[in-house]
Amino acid sequence: MRTFEIKENNRFVLIGTIMVAVSVFFLLYMGASLYYSNKQFQAQSQVVELVYK
């Protein structure tokens, strides 16, 4: 019975680690996407300013 509990705890630790890794990668992906889209938006708005001056 004790071996089953240890295996179950190891499984929970593994699942928790995978969930943390996926969430970190997701946050990095969203942050990079936000950064680059903001960079492109600022470049386009500078072009619009130059056209309307």
Residue 39 DSSP one-character state: H
Residue 3 main-chain phi, psi, to 5 deg: -65, -40
Looking at residue 30, its pLDDT comes to: 97
Does the predicted model carry a pTM greater than 0.75? no
Q: pLDDT tens digits, the chain, 53 residues: what are they?
A: 577 677 888 899 999 999 999 999 999 999 999 999 988 888 777 766 666 65
3 state SS of 53: coil
Domain ranges of the chain: 25-53
Looking at residue 40, its pLDDT comes to: 83
